[in-house]
Structure 1
Amino acid sequence: MDIEKYDLLNLMKNNIDPEKSYTFRQGNAGSWREEFTEVNKLNFKEKAGDFLIELGFEDNKNW
């Protein structure tokens, strides 16, 4: 199926329904801290920590 990225993005946006989605969360900045265990944090830092710093979301890996 060929579909333009813009059309796909619109389809995805139109399918967002927080009332029906089990994966939709509160959307509050930093609320991930309530969900991540220490093991989750260590694993995430190992895989994506540098990327978060590069993107400016974190200043270092002390979070």
Structure 2
Amino acid sequence: WLVTVWSIWLAWNEVVFSKKIMDFEDVVDLIKLRSWNWLKAKDLAFQYLFALWSNNLFFCLNLS
């Protein structure tokens, strides 16, 4: 959940301070990308490609 809160915070800052327009899909994509990056950095055994992981999150996290 931390990556979700962090991504929403950063998106909100972009809207408020940089006058950018962020839509829901952009924020969700950023959440997925940051989650994948954080998992790869934290766990060396996490070797999934982003395309595979982002389309099948629960399988790659062994939650299926």
Same topology, TM > 0.5: no
TM superposition score normalised by structure 2: 0.23
Which has the larger helix fraction?
Answer: 2
Q: Which has the higher contact order (CA 8 A, sep 6+)?
A: 2
Instruction: Give the TM-score taking structure 1 as reference length.
Output: 0.24
Q: Which has the larger radius of gyration?
A: 1
